[in-house]
A and B are shown apart, each in its own frame.
Chain A
Amino acid sequence: MESWVEIVSAIFIYIGVIFLVISSVGIIRLPDFYIRMSAITKAATLGIGFIVTGITIYFNEVVIMNKSITIILFMLLTSPVAAHVIARAAFRNRVLFWEKTIIEEFKPYLKEHGAMPETNVDKADLPGKKQ
């Protein structure tokens, strides 16, 4: 029979593994680079946070708790910054948006910077004109 510490730690680790599975399915299934970015950043950070919390509960030491807080703080600090920087670099390199992305309010900015190819803007126009 396992102790309560092991059961609670295993529950936390499995919640984290489920979040990592969600983000890994999202990077395959989602249609657009910018949508995939949101799946990666949020779900992976939360998954690693849960896994490290479960490990802290299992070891029950102050040193491990400091290391876990360091890992979670680094992930919370660096993950949004890296996602923002890569998304801005992709936007400047004219990576295409998804066809069904709503970019009505965004369009003057895109035309001003020349970051949107004309064909993609026309495709985004089509459903609005039909209705």
Chain B
Amino acid sequence: MNAFHISLIVAISVISICLIMVMIRFFKGPTLPDRVTAFDLFSANIIGITAIYAVLTDNTSVMDVAIILSLISFLGAMSFAYYLNK
């Protein structure tokens, strides 16, 4: 447990506070597109947490989860836009 790991844990905590702020917009958002963009930023923050977690545990296979998450967030945004256009 050196200073580098402590700084990584601090970074994960800061991104978690960002998740709380995004959830405030998710509950408050007046329209459906606001909530879709909040979901987009939420998944982007989770990609950041996953990538930092890969360094924290020295487990390189966690990086695959970040790749899959970046694809799934795009899929969710596109499907919601299709649903809105209908």
Contacts and interface: CB of A to CB of B under 8 A. Distances in A.
Interface of A: 2, 6, 9-10, 13-14, 16-17, 20-21, 23-25, 27-28, 33, 36-37, 40, 44-45, 47-48, 51-52, 55, 58-59, 61, 63-64, 67-68, 70-71, 74-75, 78-79, 81-83, 85-90, 92-93, 95
Contacts of B71: 74, 78
Chain A binding site: helix, strand, loop or mixed by DSSP?
helix
Interface of B: 2-4, 7-8, 11, 14-15, 17-19, 21-22, 24-25, 31-34, 36-38, 40-41, 44-45, 47-48, 51-52, 54-55, 60, 63-64, 66-67, 70-71, 73-74, 77-78, 80-81, 84-85
A85 B33 contact: no
Contact of B78 (A25, A58, A82, A90): A82
Contacts of B64: 67
Chain B binding site: helix, strand, loop or mixed by DSSP?
helix
